[in-house]
Amino acid sequence: MRTLTNATHDPALRSWVGSANDGTSDFPIQNLPYGRFRRAGSDEPWRIGVAIGDQVLDLRLASEQAPWADDLQPLLAPLAAGDLNAFMALGSAAWSRMRAALSTAFAEDSVQAPFLELCLLPQAACEMALPCRIGDYTDFYSGIHHATTIGKLFRPDNPLLPNYKWVPIGYHGRSSSIGLSGVVKRPRGQTLAPGAQAPAFGPSAKLDYELEVGAFVGRANALGEPVAMDAAEEALFGLVLLNDWSARDLQAWEYQPLGPFLAKNFASSISPWIVTMEALAPFRRPFTRPEGDPQPLPYLDGAFNRQAGAIDIVLEAWLQSAAMRAAGQPALRLSRSNMSDAYWTWAQMLTHHASNGCNLQPGDLLGSGTLSGADDDGRGSLMELSANGRTPIALPGGESRSFLQDGDTLTLRAYCRQPGAVRIGFGEVSGTIVG
Ligand code: MN
């Protein structure tokens, strides 16, 4: 088995950026995620930055202002140019070399500190953009507890379709409507009311969220060339939070026979910082199948995948209504689940996607599917929490919810924590519904 962790994961590492050491920041020196930013309210060009504590390191300034080893110049060049896709295309050895250099640069005893201090901007003073150009977006369905709960609503005796445990199910989504935190406009569309003879066109009455993780493809594969499981690990750049907003009433009417269409392509939201796969190394877990379930076909199997294919990431969804906000009431946590409960690993999803020769490109986004837990506390959508509206959930202040109402703010958060490692987080992605 390859060595997963290295000096950049050392829990004893501390940074000269004080806020990175407080034990609560999502972005300690062990994380080092990439994002694209500029000074809020400015019309400056977007820059690639690295989050550290409550600051952002401007990699264009840093490449100009601080001394770096010669071999880092070709790695810094695309980052300084604001082109994360080009950096992704360099491959995992380059990503790892850059991470080691950033770790050294941010460490307490760094000789670059006096130069890099001048290249920091508070995150609070930044606005963020999508971290890279997202060419294509595919959403999988790897949350087996979500698939089972949703399946039960429609097929109580046979919740999982026969292909589920053999093939990573997915659909091609739309990249143009992927954005960051902000306003989400309630979609309009065709719905068929219960008992109605004909559909009507109007605002969705069953607007929902889906708690997901997104994976950015780093390394391309050529058209016609599949990606083996080990190579798939090397092709994955990093992870973000993903909210796959879903209009359940549009979905129910349109989804057969070709799958989701307008019910999901009106908006998808991601968190702005890409947490690299290397940063997640201490939180890897064995991939296992429950007793009696089929083992993956050989092309989706591998020694590394069995030993460390899964990732322990705690995922949370939070809701604050307009009335709660007005009353100073904090957001209510709707669920807590874990990425390691997914039925397929990222390597399996990427390998399957390319198994027919489909060419993946740097910056392509893969969605995990809704990641629910096995119990009631872990349901990653309102469709599950309210049993499709049959059992509305109670909010503080006397309101209830089956689906999202105008003015509701839905926030996703995630973090990794385990003994012997420093906690790292994903930041958050949030959306407020408007009519
Ligand atoms: Mn989804």
The pLDDT, as a whole number, for residue 157 is 87
Choose among 62, 47, 76: nearest CA to 118.
62
Q: Does residue 79 sit in helix, strand or coil?
A: helix
CA-to-CA separations, 25 to 28, 58, 148, 318, 430, in angstroms, rounded: 6, 19, 35, 19, 18
- Write the pLDDT tens digit of every residue in 98-148: 999 999 999 999 999 999 999 999 999 999 999 999 999 999 999 999 999
What span, in angstroms and rounded, lies between the C-alpha atoms of 174 and 76?
Answer: 31
pTM, 2 dp: 0.98
Q: State the distance from the centre of ligand 1 to the C-alpha of 423, rounded, in angstroms.
A: 27
Q: Facing residues of 317 across strands?
A: 335, 412
What span, in angstroms and rounded, lies between the C-alpha atoms of 318 and 31?
Answer: 23
The residues, ordered by sequence, that sit 6+ positions from 71 with a Cβ below 8 Å of its Cβ are: 97
Is CATH 3.90.850.10 what the domain over 137-434 is classified as, yes or no?
yes
> What is the mean pLDDT of the segment spanning 6-35?
97
Q: State the distance from the centre of ligand 1 to the C-alpha of 267, rounded, in angstroms.
A: 11
Cβ atoms of 372 and 335 closer than 8 Å: yes
Q: Facing residues of 422 across strands?
A: none
Question: What stretch(es) of the chain map to CATH 3.90.850.10?
Answer: 137-434
Reply yes or no on whether the pLDDT at 270 is more than 80: yes
Question: What stretch(es) of the chain map to CATH 2.30.30.230?
Answer: 7-129
- Write the pLDDT tens digit of every residue in 330-383: 999 999 999 999 999 999 999 999 999 999 999 999 999 999 999 999 999 999
Cβ atoms of 277 and 413 closer than 8 Å: no
Mean pLDDT for the chain? 97
Reply yes or no on whether the pLDDT at 54 is more than 60: yes
Q: State the distance from the centre of ligand 1 to the C-alpha of 299, rounded, in angstroms.
A: 25
Cβ atoms of 335 and 385 closer than 8 Å: yes
The residues, ordered by sequence, that sit 6+ positions from 231 with a Cβ below 8 Å of its Cβ are: none
Q: Does residue 371 sit in helix, strand or coil?
A: coil
> What is the mean pLDDT of the segment spanning 409-419?
97
Q: Establish whether 146 is a catalytic residue.
A: yes
Reply yes or no on whether the pLDDT at 3 is more than 80: no
Across the chain, which distance is largest between two alpha carbons, in Å? 73
> Taking the domain 7-129, which CATH number applies?
2.30.30.230
Q: What confidence tier does 1 reach under pLDDT thresholds 50, 70, 90?
A: very low
Q: State the distance from the centre of ligand 1 to the C-alpha of 23, rounded, in angstroms.
A: 32
Q: What confidence tier does 247 reach under pLDDT thresholds 50, 70, 90?
A: very high
Q: State the distance from the centre of ligand 1 to the C-alpha of 73, rounded, in angstroms.
A: 39
Choose among 125, 123, 109, 132: nearest CA to 27.
123
What span, in angstroms and rounded, lies between the C-alpha atoms of 10 and 43?
Answer: 39
Q: State the distance from the centre of ligand 1 to the C-alpha of 262, rounded, in angstroms.
A: 13
Q: Does residue 97 sit in helix, strand or coil?
A: helix
Choose among 270, 407, 414: nearest CA to 333.
414
Choose among 232, 243, 240, 268: nearest CA to 346.
232
Q: How many CA atoms lie within 13 A of 20 on its CB side?
A: 27
**326 token code pair:** 């007005």
Q: State the distance from the centre of ligand 1 to the C-alpha of 29, rounded, in angstroms.
A: 32
Q: State the distance from the centre of ligand 1 to the C-alpha of 209, rounded, in angstroms.
A: 9
Cβ atoms of 52 and 143 closer than 8 Å: no
Q: State the distance from the centre of ligand 1 to the C-alpha of 328, rounded, in angstroms.
A: 31
User: At which residue do the structure tokens 């590394």 appear?
Assistant: 304
Residue count of the chain: 435
Q: State the distance from the centre of ligand 1 to the C-alpha of 371, rounded, in angstroms.
A: 9
Choose among 76, 174, 179, 75: nearest CA to 127.
179
Choose among 417, 338, 402: nearest CA to 374.
338
Q: State the distance from the centre of ligand 1 to the C-alpha of 244, rounded, in angstroms.
A: 5
Choose, from 9, 145, 146, 353, the residue flagged as catalytic. Answer: 146
What span, in angstroms and rounded, lies between the C-alpha atoms of 32 and 277?
Answer: 11
